[in-house]
């Protein structure tokens, strides 16, 4: 019997790790397509000094820290390079290919990323060489001209993005100068706003599983995802899924969210490099069981089939398609095929059917169990002030209950 360990590198989150641990435990031993039996366990990883030659016990790690905490990040790079540990996500591509690179690559692939300009730092860079270098080589520029070329309204936001830090909407020159002055030591993009978009679609992708959700950025956290079924035409539904999966397959990101704005039949991707996508039950609510289920299926698939990790991006097959004289829809279809190849989607689906046939039922049973309700109660207590507990508990019980009803119909 083969044993596999999934390591969790966690920050402040309690909700989804508890859900994930419980579901992997309930999934029990798994029979692989070759008839061998596999036991998968989970463990929360501690951060400690490590010898670079030390062998890790983990086969796969779900990481939520590397984007800001460098000790575990460097451990992840060591175990990927030396021990073939499979990572969701790999810091190799997330560290070098942040938002800015993601814009560049997807522009070359033909996606409708809004016009974007990178402007130099507002404040001097903290480096003794800066004064000389900038005096000699920094070209003076007229911010107003650049902005009027991009066109108002626009967004000013950091080139590496994340959590709405430093993002502002710019409607006029006064906004422009205020925001640029405030940007200080951050490196900023100016990006044309997709003004008056009809739908904000946010796609969460885990391996080859994608859920495109209707997002309302102006609502409070617990109300941002709207439970909506037919908010996109079938064709746009497919296009947004393909865009999200293309981003992930291209960069080898496996657990990521992709934000797209839809206007006049065009999908504009605006933010799709999220190394630590939000999967809190208090924001995903209805979609939380789907997210947990996908994370369980994909990570068990990777462990049991010994899927090998690739640390580097291979741009060539993508750019071959991108640079061809082909219309956008045809390119998207070709990207979808490359994504399916990268994620081994057909084999994954077959594995889920034959080795994990019980997981859908199991997740539904769990969502209907006291264990799930306890998780909800604990999370609400930890997240909201006491006078709001009752209201939020009813809100999330209602939405997850609705999921259970819909799921029961799907499973028959
Ligand atoms: N080009 C754009 N057009 C319209 N809205 C935008 C644009 N860029 C950003 N926004 C708005 O600002 C929010 C934050 O910007 P985003 O690029 O997602 O940054 P972060 O990486 O911090 O999440 C988006 O969710 C969206 O509501
Ligand atoms: Mg965003």
Of all helices (H) and strands (E), which one includes residue 382? helix 370-383
Residue 310: band (very low, low, confident or very high) from pLDDT cuts 50, 70, 90: confident
Mean pLDDT of 17-37: 97
DSSP letters spanning 126-179: SSTTHHHHHHHHPPP--HHHHHHHH-SSEEEEETT--TTTT-EEE-SHHHHHHH
The mean pLDDT of the chain is 96
> Any idea which ligand is nearest the CA of 113?
1
For residue 88, which of 290, 317, 296 has the smallest C-alpha distance?
296
The answer to whether the CB of 277 is under 6 A from ligand 1 is no
Report cis status (omega within 30 of 0) of the bond before 262.
Answer: no
- For residue 166, give the ligand 1 atom closest to its CA: 22
Nearest CA to ligand 1 atom 6: 193
* Three-class DSSP category at 86: strand
Q: How far apart are the CA of 404 and the centre of ligand 1, in A?
A: 32
How does DSSP classify residue 221?
A: G
Q: How far apart are the CA of 116 and the centre of ligand 2, in A?
A: 16
The answer to whether the CB of 190 is under 6 A from ligand 1 is no
- Is 61 in contact with 8 (CB distance < 8 Å)? yes
- pLDDT at residue 162, as a whole number: 80
- pLDDT at residue 98, as a whole number: 85
Alpha helices in 61-117 (DSSP H): 70-83, 91-96, 99-108
- For residue 218, give the ligand 1 atom closest to its CA: 27
Cα gap 115→228, rounded to integer Å? 30
The answer to whether the CB of 151 is under 6 A from ligand 1 is no
Q: Which tens digits make up the pLDDT trace of 167-191?
A: 999 999 999 999 999 999 999 999 9
Which regions of the chain carry the CATH code 3.40.50?
2-96
Q: Which tens digits make up the pLDDT trace of 87-105?
A: 999 999 888 778 999 999 9
Q: How far apart are the CA of 32 and the centre of ligand 2, in A?
A: 38
Q: How far apart are the CA of 309 and the centre of ligand 2, in A?
A: 27
Handedness of CA 334, 86, 48, 77 (dihedral sign): negative
- pLDDT at residue 308, as a whole number: 93
Domain spanning 115-192: CATH 3.30.1490.20: yes
The answer to whether the CB of 118 is under 6 A from ligand 1 is no
Q: How far apart are the CA of 259 and the centre of ligand 1, in A?
A: 8
Q: Which fold has domain 2-96?
A: Rossmann fold (3.40.50)
Nearest CA to ligand 1 atom 2: 193
The answer to whether the CB of 295 is under 6 A from ligand 1 is no
- CA distances from residue 88 to 25, 61, 105, 189, 261 in whole angstroms, order as listed: 20, 6, 21, 27, 26
pTM > 0.85: yes or no: yes
The answer to whether the CB of 163 is under 6 A from ligand 1 is yes
Which tokens in the block code for residue 304? Answer: 């049991």
Which tokens in the block code for residue 187? Answer: 């490196």
> Parallel, antiparallel, or unpaired for β 199-206 and 209-215?
antiparallel
Phi, psi of 13 (to 5 degrees): -75, 140
Q: How far apart are the CA of 267 and the centre of ligand 2, in A?
A: 15
Q: How far is CA 295 from the centre of its chain?
A: 12
Residue 161: band (very low, low, confident or very high) from pLDDT cuts 50, 70, 90: confident
Q: How far is CA 353 from the centre of its chain?
A: 25
Residue 362: band (very low, low, confident or very high) from pLDDT cuts 50, 70, 90: very high
Which regions of the chain carry the CATH code 3.30.1490.20?
115-192
């Amino acid at each position: 019997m083969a044993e596999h360990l999934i390591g969790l590198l966690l920050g402040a989150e309690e909700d989804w790790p508890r859900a994930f641990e419980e579901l992997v435990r309930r999934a029990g031993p798994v029979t692989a397509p070759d008839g061998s039996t596999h036991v998968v366990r989970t463990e929360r990883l501690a951060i400690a000094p490590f010898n670079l030659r030390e062998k890790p016990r983990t086969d796969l790690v779900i990481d939520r820290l590397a984007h800001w905490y460098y000790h575990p990040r460097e451990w992840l790079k060591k175990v990927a390079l030396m021990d073939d540990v499979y990572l969701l996500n790999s810091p190799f591509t997330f560290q070098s290919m942040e938002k800015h690179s993601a814009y560049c690559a997807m522009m070359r692939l033909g996606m409708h990323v809004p016009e974007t300009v990178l402007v130099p730092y507002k404040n001097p860079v903290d480096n003794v060489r800066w004064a000389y270098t900038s005096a000699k080589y920094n070209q003076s520029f007229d911010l107003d001209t650049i902005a009027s070329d991009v066109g108002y309204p626009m967004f000013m936001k950091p080139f590496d993005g994340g959590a709405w830090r430093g993002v502002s909407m710019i409607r006029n020159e006064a906004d422009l100068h205020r925001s640029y002055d405030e940007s200080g030591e951050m490196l900023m993009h100016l990006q044309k706003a997709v003004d008056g978009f009809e739908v904000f679609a946010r796609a969460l992708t885990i391996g080859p599983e994608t859920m495109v959700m209707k997002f309302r950025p102006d609502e409070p956290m617990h109300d941002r995802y709207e439970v909506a079924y037919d908010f996109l035409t079938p064709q746009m539904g497919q296009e947004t899924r393909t865009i999200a999966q293309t981003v992930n397959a291209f960069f080898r990101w496996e657990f990521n969210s992709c934000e797209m704005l839809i206007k006049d039949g065009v999908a504009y991707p605006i933010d799709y490099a999220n190394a630590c996508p939000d999967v809190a039950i208090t924001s995903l609510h209805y979609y939380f069981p789907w997210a947990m289920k996908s994370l369980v299926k994909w990570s068990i698939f990777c462990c049991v089939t010994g899927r090998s990790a690739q640390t580097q991006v291979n741009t060539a097959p993508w750019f071959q398609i991108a640079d061809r004289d082909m219309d956008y829809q045809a390119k998207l279809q070709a990207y979808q095929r490359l994504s399916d190849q990268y994620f081994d989607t057909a084999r994954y689906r077959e594995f889920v059917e034959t080795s994990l046939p019980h997981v859908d039922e199991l997740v539904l049973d769990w969502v209907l169990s006291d264990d799930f309700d306890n998780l909800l109660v604990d999370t609400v207590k930890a997240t909201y002030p006491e006078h709001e507990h009752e209201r939020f508990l009813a809100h999330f019980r209602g939405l997850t209950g609705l999921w259970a009803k819909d799921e029961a119909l799907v499973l028959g």
